[in-house]
Amino acid sequence: MPTVIVLIVLLLALTYLAIAVFSKKKKKKSDGKKLPPAPKWRLPVIGHAAYLDKDKPFEQIDKWSKELGDVMTVHFGMDPVIVVSRERLLNEAFLKKSSNFSGRPSLFVHESCWGKGLVIRDGKEALSLRSFIMSTIRQRIVSSADCIQSLVSTETSHLIERLTARIRDAEASTSSASESFATTSTMTSSFATTSIEDDLFYVVGNVMTQLAFGRRYDHGSVEFRNNASWLTTTTELMQRTAMITFLPWLRWIPYFKYFEIKRKAAEVHATMIDDIQIRRKSGDYLNHSQHDLMSVFMRRIDEEAERIKLEDDGSLFTDDMLARIMTELFFAGIQTECNTFGWAFLYLAIHQDVQEKARQHIWNEIGREGEIRFENRRNLPYIEALVAEVQRIANVAPFGLFHKNHEETTLDGYTIPAGSIVMMNLYSTLLDESVFEDPRSFLPERFLSPSGELDQRAMKRSVPYGVGSRVCMGEIIARTELFTVIGSLLQKFRFSLIEGEEYSTEQKMQLTIQSKKYRLRIDLA
């Protein structure tokens, strides 16, 4: 009997919600405003979420965008989300109307677990914080000894040494085994392998660690790997809890592991706070020769503390905010960059012709020993085109972060109510057949002119970092890393598939689009 009563109550609740939704929809129509179209068969409570494959939600969103147009409404739970697709509308919303569409909506999981850091903060205070972070990053672009390029080049050199040693060891092993079996007909073979994302984790991680904290770890460091293990755990948990953002009541269902990610977030935050307190006790951050982000931010915190005493005002420059920003930088910077490298070398191993063309291009332009630096990319247009194509086809962040429009406006003739949740559909934009011919093929040449120069117009039409005033803050870091590392490794090594192992370019999403884990054979070029 209790079960029957529960079912009846649930049915009544769903019916009530369905009527409420219908009434709300009817009222909107009667307002005389033309709202963006939505897919059919919207379900009570959960909306259109039921139709999204958890591993490939981007495919259904892409399908709907082709059916309904470049501006549409998809209901995630009870919340209508305005989905904006393809170049024309992205530019209109996030460039022409950037000030209106630069807001961030309230996101339950992020705010209740991680707090309001910089990523989801809205308003003038967010602009001030973002400006400060960007200014600090720009300083590291032009500084000499420890500029971003210098950090990337140094870490890439360490990786090259490590991979070279691995190849030498494999060759020595093969030679030794061949001598042992010289009197028999049995031959042995050995070759070096790389799980490229794991190897590049130390390059990406060390660049971020030095920029953020002013310290680095040896490649292969178990301590660093253990310290950063929260990244993998958090990614898995956040994927599980994604729908709770729109259906908060799901947090009470154990499957979604909401309270587990809440505990993990608290642990990470406490670790960041401990690091800040250690720096504060040592006082080393007060030395202005220390210009890692933590030191610069802590000096600003001290300045703000003095100002607040005089002006009796508040400030976002606090230890708590610094800890949140550090967490966001690490999570966004390391995960997405390693994923992109994973796709890059998978495609290069599959497309040996592209890999060889890139290598010959490097050798012809700067030789086998010349240093590859981002500022010299004009001499290596094929490598820059290759990086652009990797980012386009990998499509690692297919939707970016949610936006919010501050005021009511129109897009493509449709009314966008003030305070709407707005999503960039970068997936469909980067695979738009009207812009990129044969978009699912790996063709770096699409970013080159007939004469072999970089096609700047084509480059501008590929927007893996998003569009507008809230474009990814780490863009210059990521571009420097991708160009330098891919070019440097192709200059020194050959990467190929290992016979008997399985490879796939099938895309699956775990917060970002990731490739299936794989190993490659690696030889000296």
Sequence ranges of the binding site for heme: 472
Long-range CB pairs of 259-266, under 8 A, 24+ apart, other chains included:
261/109, 261/113, 261/234, 261/237, 262/112, 262/113, 264/230, 264/233, 264/234, 264/237, 265/113, 265/114, 265/234
Q: Which class for 315: exposed (0-12), middle (13-18), buried (19 or more C-beta within 10 A)?
A: middle
Binding site listing = 472
- Tell me the C-alpha distance between 465 and 1, whole Å: 55
CA distance 205 to 323: 17
Sign of CA dihedral 257, 259, 265, 271: negative
Q: Please give the Cα distance from 86 to 265 (Å, whole number).
A: 35
Amino acid 134 reads: M
Q: CB 437: neighbour CB atoms within 10 A?
A: 9
Nearest to 129 by CA among 140, 138, 141, 117: 117
Residue length of the chain: 525
Number of Cβ within 10 Å of residue 79's Cβ equals 15
Q: Which amino acid is it at 436? A: F
Nearest to 428 by CA among 84, 101, 6, 106: 84
Sign of CA dihedral 448, 523, 485, 465: positive
CB-based contacts of 429, cutoff 8 Å, min separation 6: 85, 86, 87, 90, 435, 463
For the chain, how long is the longest CA-to-CA vector? 91
Helical ranges in 190-318 per DSSP H: 196-213, 222-227, 229-240, 258-282, 293-311
Residues with Cβ within 8 Å of residue 210, at least 6 apart in sequence: 146, 151, 216, 292
Q: C-alpha distances in angstroms, 333 versus 45, 129, 156, 409, 481?
A: 35, 18, 17, 33, 11
Dig out the tokens for 271 from the structure.
């670790």
Q: For 56, phi and psi rounded to 5 degrees?
A: -140, 55
DSSP structural state of residue 497: P
If one counts every other C-beta atom within 10 angstroms of the C-beta of residue 145, the result is 6
